[in-house]
Amino acid sequence: MIAFIEKLNSEVLRSIERIESRDTDVLKKSLEASRVLGEAFDRLKQYIIGYRFQNDDEEITFFKEIKPRLFCRLIYYRKLYNIEMNRPVGSIEAQREYLDAHVRAINAYTQKRLDFIRYFRSGATHLDSLYFLRGQTDTEQYLETFYYELDPQFSTNADFKVAKILANDMLSVYLMGELESLESTNYRNMVLPLPDVRPTWQDSKTDLTELIYLLDSKGCFGNVPLTQLASYISSAFNVHLDMNLSRTFCDMKIRNNPTPWLDKAKEALLKRMQTWKRNKKNGNPE
C-alpha cells in the first residue's frame, strides 16, 4: 500500500506544481487541479476497496492521515473554484465583504466542531477506533459529504471531517492573502517605475516565491507589506507573479523539501567561495 500511495502522491504533487506555475488565472488552475485530484482520488478509492488492511492500526493510519491529505486538496480546489466563480467584480469593499463572509463561514464550521478539532490537533488516539475504522459510520455524517463519500468501504466516521479541517486551513490562508491583497492595492500602484531593459528571472516562479518569503521573513525591507514587496520584485526581475502568494506558500509547506531553491542557492554560493579560496591560494583570485 505504501508504495502505491507514495507513487500516487508524487504524481499528484508534480501535476499540481505544473498547474500552479502556469500563467493562467485562478479559475483555470483550480478547475484543472480539481480534475487531476479527482482522478487520483478515484484511483485511490479503487485500490483501497480491493485492498485488505493488515491490522486496525494500518486502517486507522490510512483514514486518519493518508486519505485526508489527498482529499483536503480536492475539497480546497473545488471550493476555491466556487469562491472565485462567484466573486463580485465591483468595488474593493464589495470583494472584501464577500471574502469576509467566507472567512466567517469557516470560523462557524470550526466552532461547531471544536471538540473533534481539539482531539485531532492534539494528537490524541483513544477514540481512533471509533472515528477511523470502517463500519461504525454515523449516518448523519453523510449530510455534509458528497459523491466520493457515499461508499462505506471507503469512508469512516471522521475522515471527511479531517479533510475538511485541513482544506479550511488552506482556504483560510488563501482568503487572508486575498484580503491582504485588497488592502495593499494602493501600495502596489505606488511602486516606482523600473528601466525597460532589466535582468529577467531565469528560475521558476515558485523559486522566486521562496526568495520573497525569505526576504519578508527576515525583515530585510522593514515593515513593507508582503504583496508590495512581491510586486516590486516581480517587476524588477521581469516576472509576472500571481499576487495570491499565500496559496503558493501553502503548497511549499507540504513539499518533502519545503525550500529546494534556497538550499541550492546556498550550495552554489558556498561552492563559489570554495573555488575563490582555491584560486586565491594558487595566486589567481576571482
Angle at 178 between CA 116 and CA 184, to 5 degrees: 135
Do residues 116 and 234 share a domain? no
Residue 228 lies in a domain: yes
Q: Looking at the structure, do residues 251 and 276 belong to the same domain, yes or no?
A: yes
Q: Is the pLDDT of residue 118 over 60?
A: yes
- pLDDT above 90 for 92: no
Q: Tell me which of 133, 157, 190 is where a domain ends.
A: 190
pLDDT tier, 235 (very low <50, low <70, confident <90, very high otherwise):
confident
Task: Give the tens place of pLDDT for each residue, 165-199.
Answer: 999 999 998 998 888 888 776 444 444 455 555 67
Q: Does residue 198 belong to any structural domain of this protein? A: no
Residue 87 lies in a domain: yes
Residue 195 contacts residue 239 (beta carbons within 8 Å): no
Identify whether residues 112 and 241 lie together within a single domain: no
88 and 22 fall within a common domain: yes
Range of the domain at 218: 205-282
Tally of domains within the chain: 2
CA-CA distances (angstroms) from residue 11 to 6, 14, 16, 135, 201?
9, 5, 9, 31, 27
* More reliable by pLDDT, 166 or 284: 166
Q: How far apart are the first and last CA of the chain?
A: 53
Whether residue 197 is contained in a domain is answered as no
